[in-house]
Amino acid sequence: MTTLTSPHDLLTAVPFLVGYQPEDSLVLIGLKDDLVGMAMRIDFPEDFDCDQIDNLVSHLEKDCAESALLVAYLPKHISECESLIETIKDALLLRNINLREAIVVREGRWRSSICTDSECCPIEGSPLPILSDSKIAAEQVALGNPLPFQDINELVESISQISADPDLLEVINSV
């Protein structure tokens, strides 16, 4: 995968890493030697506890991550997640894993919770990048990888069992 050099790159890489465009999710990505390692997605925790976060972070430690990237896709009814990000950051630091970036996505906009420069990271956020216009998408398609699914339902449908054809079953059973 292309080196992720900006939040724009990260936001367009996440769907390729998890297979679809996340919603109401936390995505945690481990980095080792500046290379993407493990990428994990969980449903956005309505009521998170430290044990849950500790378990999540422990996977990055087992994967020998040196640093991490976090993208929080907020559900519509949640307006902020700074305390959750701080809890994750603290859990990472306990394992000597640095949180390099934490991006919050809400209602089609994103903002960094780490950057304090209002010029590049305005408080109201910036529009989400268009996946199909990104260099990440171009590179992935050139490598023969498909575009990610639009949502988890499309992903599940793509691997779900299809209904059996009764006529075909009759032919098979008659042999």
Q: What is the pLDDT of residue 2?
A: 59
Question: What mean pLDDT comes out for the span 49-74?
Answer: 93
Which helix (H) or strand (E) segment is 93 a member of? helix 82-94
Angstrom distance (rounded) from CA 175 to CA 70: 56
Question: What mean pLDDT comes out for the span 25-32?
Answer: 95
Q: Which residue has the higher pLDDT, 135 or 69?
A: 69
Which helix (H) or strand (E) segment is 27 a member of? strand 25-32
Contact between 12 and 129 (Cβ < 8 Å): yes
Quote the pTM value.
0.84
Angstrom distance (rounded) from CA 101 to CA 49: 22
Question: What mean pLDDT comes out for the span 65-71?
Answer: 96
pLDDT digits (tens, 9 = 90+) for 76-126: 998 888 999 999 999 999 999 999 999 999 999 999 999 888 888 888 899
Angstrom distance (rounded) from CA 74 to CA 98: 22
Residue 156 pLDDT > 80, yes or no?
Answer: no
For 65, 68, 91, 95, the CA distances from 34, given in Å and listed in that order, are 10, 10, 20, 18
Residue from 122, 97, 119, 101 nearest 111 by CA: 122
| Pairing outcome for strands 109-112 and 98-106 | antiparallel
DSSP 8-state class, residue 81: -
Question: What mean pLDDT comes out for the span 16-39?
Answer: 93
Q: Which residue has the higher pLDDT, 1 or 90?
A: 90
Angle at 11 between CA 90 and CA 153, to 5 degrees: 100
151 pLDDT band (50/70/90 cuts)?
confident
